């Protein structure tokens, strides 16, 4: 049982580049979400999805897009990377509003 799988684990981007962070879960969870973690600020919700075809914005959605074409996958797209997007990104999934299972994280640096 793989749980929540995120790729890549590390990424360096130049300002203005775009990329997609991948997230997949094999637990048939309805709810998936993306967070960013910055020092001293805990985790902040970027976007979330309550099921295939349904997405919504969280606390800090600007500069990010998501889609949910299948139950398993929830990719996060950075449209035009900025240094302010340097962070550690976590994908999470859960069944209803029960405990969330987190991926291992993606450490992104934008130079």
Partner 1 sequence: ELKVEQNPLFLSMQEGKNYTIYCNYSTTSDRLYWYRQDPGKSLESLFVLLSNGAVKQEGRLMASLDTKARLSTLHITAAVHDLSATYFCAAYNNNDMRFGAGTRLTVKP
Using CB under 8 A, list all residues that contact partner 1: 31, 33, 35, 40-45, 48, 50, 56, 58-59, 90, 92, 97-105
Distance in Å, CB of 110 to partner 1, minimum: 20
Distance in Å, CB of 78 to partner 1, minimum: 20
Distance in Å, CB of 111 to partner 1, minimum: 21
Strands 31-37 and 54-57: unpaired
The smaller minimum CB distance to partner 1, of residues 4 and 110, is found at: 4
Residues 6+ apart with CB under 8 A from 99: none
Residues 6+ apart with CB under 8 A from 15: 81, 82, 83, 110, 111
């Amino acid at each position: 049982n793989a749980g929540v799988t995120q790729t890549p684990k590390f990424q360096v981007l130049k300002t203005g580049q775009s990329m997609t962070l991948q997230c997949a879960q094999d637990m048939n969870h309805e709810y998936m979400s993306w967070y960013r973690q910055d020092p001293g600020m805990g985790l902040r919700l970027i976007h979330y999805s309550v099921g295939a075809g349904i997405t919504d914005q969280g606390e800090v959605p600007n500069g990010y897009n998501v889609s949910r074409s299948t139950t398993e996958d929830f990719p996060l797209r950075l449209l035009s990377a900025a240094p302010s997007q340097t962070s550690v990104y976590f994908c999470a999934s859960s069944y209803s509003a029960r405990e969330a299972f987190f991926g291992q994280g993606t450490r992104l640096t934008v130079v």
